[in-house]
Amino acid sequence: MDFLTDFKPLTVQPQEIEGMSFNMIDEEFGQHSFTEEQYKIVQRVVHASADFELGHSMLFHEKAIQSGIKAIKNGEQVYADVQMIVSGVSKGRIEKHGGNVHVYISDEDVMKEAKRLNTTRAIISVRKSIQQFDGGIYAIGNAPTALLELIRLIKGGYAKPSLVIGMPVGFVSAPESKEELAKLDVPFITNVGRKGGSTVTVAALNALSLLAEKA
């Protein structure tokens, strides 16, 4: 099997690859108006997506970083709209302070209620989340309906998150949901347009937990 014996393994260590990647991002990203802490999050998002346009389109509430760090260090809970976010988050940095990452999208009671009301599980899972914990961080990367429902609950005074990381991907309602989020006077991290997704939402949350670890 020549394809095995001829294989030349990559000798660069993983941490070196990451460092090289970040250097390349810094070189190619160009001018921006992000603060140093905001750029740490943008950098991770670009690293996860290889999408500079997405990075440049990111928006931050002025209190987003401070509020997110405080929430993590105070052991506040994290709500995720889909399991993929739970799988990708570096949970150790959140759990060490007493927090955890929760997802309710596949819970039996959520599925039954969504069927009864003829609505989406994403909407019902957000409603369940505000009954489970006050404040906390909401990480929404897949379902625009989840973000729109959270926005409705915030406007109604039913939800008071410490931070909303809202970057759902898609064509239907995704850009609009992020536009609405950016109008709220609550700490948020979002982006403009259709791009986004669970991967970049995870990257933003992981970058935030790294900032919390160093704070």
Residues designated as active site: 47
CA-CA distance, 188 to 49, in Å (whole number)? 20
Radius of gyration, alpha carbons of the chain: 18
CA-CA distance, 150 to 138, in Å (whole number)? 9
Residue with token string 């109008």: 183
Looking at residue 162, the DSSP 8-state letter turns out to be S
Q: Is 166 helix (H, G, I), strand (E, B) or coil?
A: strand
Q: Alpha carbon of 12 to those of 17, 49, 106: distances in Å?
A: 7, 21, 40
10 Å CB burial of residue 36 (0-12, 13-18, 19+) is exposed
Q: What is the DSSP string of 28-81?
A: HH------HHHHHHHHHHHHHH--HHHHHTEEE-TTHHHHHHHHHHTT--EEES
In single-letter form, the type of residue at position 143 comes to A
Residue with token string 């609009």: 176
10 Å CB burial of residue 51 (0-12, 13-18, 19+) is middle
